Amino acid sequence: MLGPVSVTTANGGPLPLGPAKRRSLLAMLLAHPNTPVGVERLTEALWDEEPPRHARTVLQGHVSRLRAVFAQYDAAAHGVELLTQGAAYRLRLPETLVDAHRFEESLRLVRRSTDPGEAVAVLREALGLWQGPAFAGTVHSAPLEAPAQALDELRLTAVEALARAYGQLGDHGAAASVLRAEAAAHPLREPLVAQLMLSLARAGRQADALDWFHRTRKLLADEIGVDPAPVLTDAYHTLLHTDAHARAHPDTDAEAHAHAEAHAHPHAAADNGTARPPAVRPQLLPRRPRGFIARQDELAALDRITTAAPGSIVTLTGSAGVGKTALAVHWSHRRRADFPAGTLFADLCGFSPTPARDTRAVLREFLLALGVPVERMPGSPAALGARYRELTAGRRLLVVLDNAVDSEQVRPLLPGGEECVTLVTSRDRLDGLVATDAARPVKVGALPAADSTALLAAVLGPEPVAAEPEAAARLAGLCDGLPLALRVAAARLATRPHRGLASFAGELADEQHRLDLLQAEDTGVAAALGLSLRHLPEPARGLFHHLGPHTGATLDTCTAAALADCPPLQAARALDQLAAAQLVVETGPRSYVLHDLVRLFARSLAPDHEPAGLLRLLDHWVQTLLAACAAAEPGGEPCCALPPGARRSAEIRRFTDRTAALAWYSAERGTLRAAVEAAVAAGLHDRAWRLVLLQWPLVVWQVRDGWVPLLEQGLASAELDGDPAAQSRASALLGWVLSEEGRPEEALARLERAPELAVRAGDFAGEAVARINLAVALMRYGDRERPGGLLADALALAEREGLTETVTLAHQHLAQHLLSVGAAAEAAEHAARGLALAAPLLAAPRRVVLRTLHGEALAAVGRTGEAVRQLHEAIREARASAYEEGEVAARSALDGLSDRWRDRGQARGVVTQGRSALGG
């Protein structure tokens, strides 16, 4: 390592290592002997710029060639072996075989010795190991330059130590000779020049010593515009003082020499490592990420925080593969000029196939980059931390701590300077760091749709995306806006250009194979999520394994408890841990979002799971739907009961009112549809039809919103379950929706069968509803005879069975029918009975309809004042409940009444009264 990177055999012959990148790979492994080095870190070392598309394959090829060379020369016999360890490689070898190790051992031996003669011998031998700059012949990259710089710094330290040893022996000429070459090669290294000046003066070459001072002072001014440091000016003043003292006192005062030595060589006076090393400007950032897209909000947040608080700590947290590291590195490159003291970067391997980085190792790496020589490296963790904080104090430095496992791993690595900015990335929320160190959190979420397609274009090139824009948008959606998934998908497309975006998006749509398709070698969504899961405590891991059967994106603690068959409090704690690890996203109290790729990963962990979890989930949904029905239609009768043998949930969601229930229905519509599909696929048809029918309040509220396929599935499941009551209710609801959609033949075919099926089942409530729905459809299609009898029969059935809500419904439609056939007085009576029967319990839309019908019937029999009052009340109640259709109908009825009065020349007072009440 001390010169061109090479390996020699026992007899001194060099091994054929091949090109520079292969030597660079070996150098990275030698720099971290017996320690796993991740593939990403090796890739950064081999390609300082953006790596090629097949970098991993090239890297594997270099590993294979190195192994072949090692095997050819029987390296294993000497304990040398190149091993694969997860997504990393480890070079196992005795460290005594490495020249850098032997060199460092020599320096440690010298520090323990008090014999300058021994020190000269050992140091000359140690310096003889050097054949050129450390890591010569390797790629110029930050991961290699940091250890190479540390070794070169160590060599200069050894040269300075050798010169001191010569000086202690009185051989100042030899000391000056050793130092001169290094001072020429490093003219701005002021401690080295200061030592050379003193050695020259003691060797009787005062003029040369002063010349070196003036030459260096001019170079400092010309090159970097600064004055000499105290170490150089102190040496200069010592020379002048010594020269004057020598003229007056020919016998040199040994004590004065010792004082001068201490000033010129602060490290010699403080071998305990407390002296501050020469200021260096470390640059350990990885290369700028290629194809970085958008993130304008997050970048702006970083700018705002670091500008307002120069010494801030910022956490970038988000789920696996969301692009936290790319964001941190991109921002760091963009703001690099704002940190004149340099940038430190460390991958803490918190969520990685390799073990998390030891804090001591990271501190040692940082101190080396900050200029601390190896032989003066503190030993204990506390001393390492103290030295690190001392060296970062008073500097404007950026510290990037990537992939932290938790707050405890981060705290010892926080710099001491008030001007330092620390950027931490993690899949954990790092709440502890926010609490104890006032860290400012910045959440990194999934990319929006437009940015996702832009990322595909950045990786694939704009042409394929422009050629298939709809397929690109679909593909981006299937990747959940996750940059890792998008990049893997793009990589697969790039290596198979004949496939096309639409074809690949079609393959990704299959949930059974999506995760497999989003895998490229050892990189992929499943691998990244697996690392997150591995670091979770057991309760959270256990819950996650039960989430696979879940059929939607939203998740609450009640549903999670049902899936895992555990108490809700335990589920709540586990969900909080999953949210902290970014595997679920907290959206409110006890409410979370489970993205598709995460759900598919949970399902993949138990591909052969028993249906118990799905059964618990479906029974939980049925119970929740029953509660939602009761809240959405207060006073109504449930259309079904729990299936036989259903497992009762420990807790279900509570709904405060009709609005809350309908909002939940609407939000969970996709989840419930998927639950029906899962029930059908598992042959659980008794659950499937219940899940369909119990959505009827939303079906009624949004009747023309594409319900037919779901209702047809519900009817099919009821038939497969052999339940005629369910078939009747499904047929009645489906027929009514078909009628509303303007499909009369299909509607009547379903509606005509519904009463007969209910009679067969002995379901009087279902029979009454079926007769009402059939009557409404016949009324719509102009039948003036049959509806009256059907509705009268339904009313009688409902009254006999005590079905208050159905009685009210029958009165409503009888009022409507009677109005249409000119029996206004009877219509008014039925509308009034419907209103009086259950006014406090009735849902607002039903009351609005009944009041409107009542107002129209009253107007038709000449009771105009009462009619106006009823219509005003209908409008008021419709507005209060946001029932726009009801408000329009009531207002239309009021306007029609006004027109009739105007035609009679009597409308003015009535219209004024109506508009005044409406504020118009």
CB 560, CB 575: distance < 8 Å: yes
Query: Kind of pairing, strands 585-588 and 554-556?
Result: unpaired
Q: Kindly state the DSSP code that residue 770 receives in the 8-state scheme.
A: H
The pLDDT score that the predictor gives to residue 842 is: 59
pLDDT in tens, 715-732: 999 999 999 999 999 999
pLDDT in tens, 870-920: 999 989 988 888 888 888 988 988 888 776 655 544 333 332 222 222 222
CB 205, CB 176: distance < 8 Å: yes
pLDDT in tens, 532-555: 888 888 889 989 989 989 998 889
The pLDDT score that the predictor gives to residue 527 is: 81
CA distance 498 to 506: 14
Angle at 116 (CA atoms; ends 112, 120), nearest 5 degrees: 95
The pLDDT score that the predictor gives to residue 603 is: 85
Q: Evaluate if residue 243 carries a pLDDT over 60.
A: no
CA distance 514 to 502: 15
Mean pLDDT over the full length of the chain:
85
Query: Kind of pairing, strands 554-556 and 523-524?
Result: unpaired
DSSP codes of every residue in 310-353: TT-EEEEE--TTS-HHHHHHHHHHHTGGG-TT-EEEEE--TTSS
The pLDDT score that the predictor gives to residue 406 is: 92
Q: Which amino acid is at 666?
A: S
CB 163, CB 199: distance < 8 Å: yes
The pLDDT score that the predictor gives to residue 882 is: 81
Q: What region does 262 belong to: left with phi over 0, alpha with psi -120 to 50, or beta?
A: alpha
Alpha helices by DSSP H, listed for 170-205, are 172-185, 190-202
Residues belonging to the chain: 920
The pLDDT score that the predictor gives to residue 907 is: 33
Q: Which amino acid is at 241?
A: H
pLDDT in tens, 448-482: 988 889 888 888 888 888 989 999 999 989 998 88
Q: Give the least confident one: 273-277, 546-550, 583-587.
A: 273-277
Query: Kind of pairing, strands 398-404 and 343-347?
Result: parallel
Dihedral sign for Cα atoms in the order 861, 865, 869, 875: positive
Question: Tokens 């039960």 — which residue?
Answer: 546
Beta strand ranges found along 444-548 (DSSP E): 519-520, 523-524
The mean pLDDT value for 108-122 works out to 86
pLDDT in tens, 166-217: 888 888 888 898 898 888 888 888 888 999 999 998 888 888 888 888 888 8
Q: Evaluate if residue 421 carries a pLDDT over 80.
A: yes
Q: Greatest CA span in the chain, whole angstroms?
A: 139
The pLDDT score that the predictor gives to residue 785 is: 87
Q: What region does 537 belong to: left with phi over 0, alpha with psi -120 to 50, or beta?
A: beta
715: its two tokens: 């009817």
The pLDDT score that the predictor gives to residue 245 is: 47
Beta strand ranges found along 519-584 (DSSP E): 519-520, 523-524, 554-556
**Which helix (H) or strand (E) element contains residue 709?**
helix 708-721
pLDDT in tens, 741-792: 989 999 999 999 999 999 999 999 999 999 999 999 899 888 888 999 999 9
**Which helix (H) or strand (E) element contains residue 92?**
strand 88-92
CA distance 611 to 625: 21
**Which helix (H) or strand (E) element contains residue 147?**
helix 142-168
Q: Evaluate if residue 264 carries a pLDDT over 70.
A: no
